[in-house]
Amino acid sequence: MPKKIVKKGKKPHKNKKTSKKYTKYKIEGDKVTRSRFCPRCGPGVFLMDSQGRFYCGKCHYSEFKSKEEMKK
Ligand SMILES: [Zn+2]
């Protein structure tokens, strides 16, 4: 029985998804308004908008939305 030839080496390169960070920015006129930043990590780290609260994936900070924000 001939041995199975198993190719070794680099796996085929897959393109990584591009960062969607820019989608968090809204441009209103000359101002760039941002969604929430993490108060712990500082500007640049966005809080994830999830089920009525904001959540930081970096430091696991979470912040509950105010009632006014829930209405939107
Ligand atoms: Zn954080």
Q: Residue 23 falls within a domain, yes or no?
A: no
Q: Residue 2 falls within a domain, yes or no?
A: no
Task: Give the pLDDT confidence score for residue 66 in this predicted structure.
Answer: 72
Q: Residue 44 falls within a domain, yes or no?
A: yes
Q: Residue 59 falls within a domain, yes or no?
A: yes
Task: Give the pLDDT confidence score for residue 29 in this predicted structure.
Answer: 59
Q: Which residue, 56, 55, 57, is CA-closest to 65?
A: 55
Q: How many domains does the chain have?
A: 1
Ligand 1 ion: Cβ-proximal residues, 5 Å cutoff: 38, 40-41, 56, 58-59, 61
Q: How far is the CA of 56 from the centre of ligand 1 (A)?
A: 5
Residue-number span of the structural domain to which 72 is assigned? 37-72
List Cα–Cα distances, 7 to 10, 14, 15, 30, in angstroms.
Answer: 9, 18, 21, 55
Task: Give the pLDDT confidence score for residue 59 in this predicted structure.
Answer: 93
- Residue 71: pLDDT band by 50, 70, 90 thresholds? low
Task: Judge if pTM exceeds 0.85.
Answer: no
Distance CA(46)–CA(32), nearest Å, equals: 14
Q: How far is the CA of 22 from the centre of ligand 1 (A)?
A: 18
- Residue 72: pLDDT band by 50, 70, 90 thresholds? low
Q: Are 57 and 50 in contact (CB under 8 A)?
A: no
What's the pLDDT tens digit per position in 14-67? 888 877 766 766 655 555 555 678 888 888 788 887 777 888 888 998 888 776
